[in-house]
C-alpha cells in the first residue's frame, strides 16, 4: 500500500471546513446515472455522512495528545476518518446516548456557524445515510486506546457481506428504529438489506445471530409469535 496523494489542512476550522469537504468529495469515486435522458454523476458516498464524520473528528479530538490530529483516508473500498482521543461514551451507544463532548466550546461554535448538526444527531445521520445509500453499516473502533476510527464502506453486494457486517447493520438498524420510537422487525430488516419477501428466513438468521451476539433482544420476551415479532437494542428498558 502506498500514499497517492496527501493534503494537510492549514486554515482554521470555520474558514476551512467547506474546503476540506469539497476536497474530499472531489477525490471520491462516482457512478454515472441516466435518468429522464439526462446523465448525472452520483457519488458513491453520501456527502452528509462525510460532513458529519469530519465535523465529529474535529469536535471530539483530544488536544492533549500531541503530534497527531484528525485524519481522512480514502481507499478503493472505504473511507476512514480518525481522531486522537478515546471516545467518552461506548461506541455501541453512539446512536442513542445523549451527546458528550470534551470540547464543548468548540462544538457549540461549530453548531452556531452551521458546520455540524444539532446536538447528538450526527452519528444518527451517518447511519441513516448509509442505509439510504444501501451501504454496509459504518464501523466504529478505538485504535490503540487513544484514537477513534470510523470506517464508511463502499457499496457491497449482500452476498459478499461477512457475518459481522450483517450483525453490525442489524444492530444499528435496530437502534435507529428505537430512537425514532419505532421497532425493528423481520420486514424492516429485509428492506434494509433489500432481501425479497420470500427470503425472509435469511433476515431471521441475521436477527438470531445478532441476538446471540447480545446486541438486540425481543421487544416482548413473553410473545410466542415469530411472524409479528419486533426487536429492540440490548440496552433498551
> Which CATH number is 98's domain given?
3.30.565.60
Q: Is the pLDDT of residue 217 over 90?
A: yes
Compute CA distances 141 → 45, 100, 147, 174, whole Å: 20, 18, 8, 19
Supply the pLDDT for residue 49.
94
169 shares a domain with 65: no
87-114 pLDDT, tens digit per residue, is 989 999 999 987 777 888 888 888 888 7
Q: Is the pLDDT of residue 227 over 70?
A: yes
Q: Which DSSP helix (H) or strand (E) runs through 128?
A: helix 122-132
80 shares a domain with 35: yes
Residue 230 phi, psi dihedral angles, 5° rounding = -125, 165
Could you give the number of structural domains in the chain? Answer: 2
Of 72, 89, 90, whose CA–CA distance to 81 is shortest?
Answer: 72
179 shares a domain with 195: yes
Q: Which DSSP helix (H) or strand (E) runs through 184?
A: strand 184-185
Asked whether 132 and 46 are in contact (CB, 8 A), the reply is yes
Residue 32 phi, psi dihedral angles, 5° rounding = -90, 125
Strand 184-185 relative to strand 147-153, pairing: unpaired
Looking at 95, 123, 153, the residue that finishes a domain is 153
Whether 75 maps to a domain, the answer reads: yes
122 shares a domain with 64: yes
Asked whether 107 and 59 are in contact (CB, 8 A), the reply is yes
137 shares a domain with 96: yes
Q: Which is more confidently placed, 37 or 26?
A: 26
Q: Is 20 helix (H, G, I), strand (E, B) or coil?
A: helix
Whether 96 maps to a domain, the answer reads: yes
Q: Is the pLDDT of residue 220 over 70?
A: yes
Compute CA distances 200 → 55, 156, 176, whole Å: 38, 20, 21
CA 47/CA 158 separation, integer angstroms: 23
> Which CATH number is 188's domain given?
1.10.10
**Domain range spanning residue 44?**
13-153
Amino acid at each position: 500500500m502506498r500514499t497517492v496523494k496527501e493534503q494537510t489542512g492549514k486554515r482554521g476550522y470555520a474558514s476551512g471546513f467547506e474546503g476540506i469537504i469539497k476536497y474530499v468529495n472531489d477525490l471520491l469515486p462516482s457512478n454515472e446515472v441516466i435518468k429522464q435522458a439526462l446523465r448525472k454523476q452520483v457519488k458513491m458516498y453520501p456527502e452528509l455522512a462525510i460532513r458529519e464524520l469530519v465535523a465529529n473528528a474535529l469536535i471530539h479530538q483530544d488536544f492533549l495528545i500531541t503530534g497527531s490530529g484528525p485524519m481522512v483516508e480514502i481507499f478503493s473500498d472505504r473511507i476512514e476518518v480518525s481522531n486522537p482521543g478515546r471516545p467518552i461514551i461506548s461506541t455501541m451507544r453512539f446512536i442513542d446516548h445523549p451527546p458528550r463532548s470534551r470540547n464543548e466550546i468548540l462544538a457549540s461554535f461549530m453548531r452556531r456557524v452551521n458546520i455540524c448538526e444539532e446536538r447528538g444527531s450526527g452519528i444518527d445521520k451517518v447511519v441513516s445515510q448509509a442505509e439510504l445509500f444501501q451501504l454496509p453499516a459504518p464501523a466504529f473502533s478505538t485504535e490503540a486506546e487513544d484514537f477513534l476510527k470510523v470506517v464508511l464502506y463502499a457499496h457491497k453486494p449482500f452476498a459478499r457481506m461477512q457475518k459481522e457486517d450483517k450483525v453490525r447493520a442489524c444492530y444499528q438498524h435496530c437502534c435507529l428504529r428505537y430512537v425514532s420510537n419505532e421497532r425493528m422487525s423481520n420486514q424492516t430488516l429485509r428492506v434494509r438489506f433489500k432481501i425479497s419477501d420470500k427470503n425472509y428466513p435469511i433476515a431471521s438468521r441475521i436477527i438470531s445471530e445478532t441476538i446471540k451476539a447480545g446486541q438486540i433482544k425481543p421487544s416482548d420476551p413473553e410473545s410466542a409469535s415469530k411472524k409479528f415479532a419486533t426487536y429492540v437494542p440490548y440496552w433498551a428498558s
